């Protein structure tokens, strides 16, 4: 019995010794990962709990291959930003990440990933660039004078809509295309194709062609135009006059001196004229004597107040007199004609 008890005690002591002196895990070499970001790679830590995982060998990485493989675009955009896409709209060639590409060719980035050899389980990302033709030949798909064109932009190839105008080379207007049976899909020889009708481009037609017109040279002025240094002075009728006739009413004023007309930049007194304004309307246009200092007006309304003034105009600038008012006569009243009475003839007796 004592032997059995001794052996039992020996076994218990041995078990306790083994448990006490068992090899402890080297926590610094335990592979852990952040379960919220499974493609961030394995981490080496003595506190796996803070990565919300158990003592796993490693997280299940999205990047197992050591070779570059295509993956979804959003993976690259989140890790290294957007690709540098290029659409060549030049009539020649364009530089791009695909090399030199021809007109209407779209160069675009394709996201790739592979395992990171420096961080176990982590991913590396890159863009490989590919290209394709947008097939953007002009075409006529509707009976209007403008070309429908396929086009490419930084988001890819698109087709449809009114996008081009055939312009005269001098920008004076547009040539006709895509109507009256002419559905060639090309602008006539000698004309220029202009983008129009979408985005920041002008409306199709003459508006799109306007940029081709050569600007008209503006001559440098030889002098600076100035207004007259004096103004006409109204004389008749008096300001506030009443009972003025509705016909043959003479408006009079005193003119300005020969050297008071200012600089008209034309060196000619033929440009000088007194303009008469009645209720804001110029009423003596093309007068026989532009320097006359009176003007007769007719056809006015009864019992109406008018405002008038005179402008001394030198051909480029003018100066106004003061304003006056007058009121025309009231309309005449009709006086009834008296009815004659019959006087009896006297009777002879």
pLDDT, tens only, 132-161: 887 666 777 766 778 877 667 777 776 556
**Overall number of domains in the chain:** 4
Max Cα-Cα span within the chain: 202
Q: Residue 15: inside a domain, yes or no?
A: no
Q: Residue 110: inside a domain, yes or no?
A: yes
Least confident of 122-126, 171-175, 312-316: 171-175
Provide the CATH number for the domain around residue 293.
Answer: 2.60.40.10
Q: Which residue bears the tokens 């008012």? A: 325
pLDDT, tens only, 275-302: 999 999 999 988 889 999 999 999 999 9
Euclidean distance between CA atoms 63 and 38, whole angstroms: 10
Euclidean distance between CA atoms 164 and 196, whole angstroms: 5
Q: Are residues 276 and 289 in the same domain?
A: yes
Between 162 and 323, name the one with better pLDDT: 323
Q: Residue 37: inside a domain, yes or no?
A: yes
The Cα-based distances of 174 to 167, 253, 322 in angstroms read: 4, 54, 51
pLDDT of residue 57: 42
Q: Are residues 237 and 301 in the same domain?
A: yes
Euclidean distance between CA atoms 116 and 74, whole angstroms: 19
Q: Are residues 163 and 206 in the same domain?
A: yes
Q: Are residues 242 and 321 in the same domain?
A: yes
Q: Is the pLDDT of residue 115 over 90?
A: no
Q: Are residues 87 and 168 in the same domain?
A: no
Q: Are residues 127 and 146 in the same domain?
A: no
Q: Are residues 157 and 203 in the same domain?
A: yes
Out of 7, 35, 60, a domain closes at 60
Which residues span the domain enclosing 309? 233-328
Euclidean distance between CA atoms 24 and 49, whole angstroms: 18
Q: Residue 221: inside a domain, yes or no?
A: no
- 7, two tokens: 């052996």
Q: For the residues of 122-139, what is the DSSP string, one character each?
A: BEEEEEEEEEEE----EE
Q: Are residues 184 and 266 in the same domain?
A: no
Q: Residue 266: inside a domain, yes or no?
A: yes
């Amino acid at each position: 019995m004592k032997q059995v008890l001794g052996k039992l005690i020996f076994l218990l002591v041995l078990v306790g010794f083994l448990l006490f002196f068992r090899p402890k895990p080297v926590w610094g070499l335990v592979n852990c990962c952040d379960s919220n970001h499974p493609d961030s790679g394995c981490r080496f830590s003595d506190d796996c709990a803070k990565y919300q995982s158990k003592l796993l060998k490693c997280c299940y990485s999205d990047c197992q291959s050591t070779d570059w493989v295509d993956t979804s675009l959003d993976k690259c955009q989140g890790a290294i930003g957007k690709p540098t896409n290029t659409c060549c709209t030049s009539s020649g060639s364009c530089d791009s990440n695909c090399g030199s590409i021809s007109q209407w060719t779209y160069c675009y980035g394709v996201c790739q990933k592979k395992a990171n050899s420096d961080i176990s389980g982590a991913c590396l990302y890159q863009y490989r660039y590919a290209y394709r033709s947008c097939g953007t030949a002009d075409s006529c798909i509707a009976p209007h004078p403008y070309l429908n064109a396929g086009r490419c932009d930084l988001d890819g190839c698109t087709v449809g809509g009114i996008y081009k105008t055939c312009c005269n080379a001098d920008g004076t207007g547009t040539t006709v295309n895509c109507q009256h049976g002419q559905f060639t899909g090309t602008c006539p020889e000698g004309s220029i194709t202009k983008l129009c009708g979408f985005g920041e481009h002008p409306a199709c037609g003459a508006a799109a062609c306007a940029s081709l017109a050569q600007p008209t040279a503006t001559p440098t002025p030889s002098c600076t135009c100035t207004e007259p240094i004096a103004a006409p002075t109204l004389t008749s009728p008096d300001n506030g006059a009443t009972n003025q006739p509705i016909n043959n009413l003479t408006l009079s004023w005193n003119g300005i001196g020969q050297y008071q007309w200012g600089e008209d930049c034309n060196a000619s007194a033929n440009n000088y004229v007194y303009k008469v304004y009645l209720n804001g309307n110029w009423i003596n246009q093309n007068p026989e004597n532009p320097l006359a200092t009176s003007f007769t007006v007719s056809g006015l309304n009864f019992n109406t107040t008018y405002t008038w003034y005179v402008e001394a105009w030198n051909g480029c600038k003018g100066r106004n007199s003061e304003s006056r008012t007058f009121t025309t006569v009231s309309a005449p009243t009709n006086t009834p004609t008296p009815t004659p009475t019959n006087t009896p003839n006297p009777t002879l007796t």
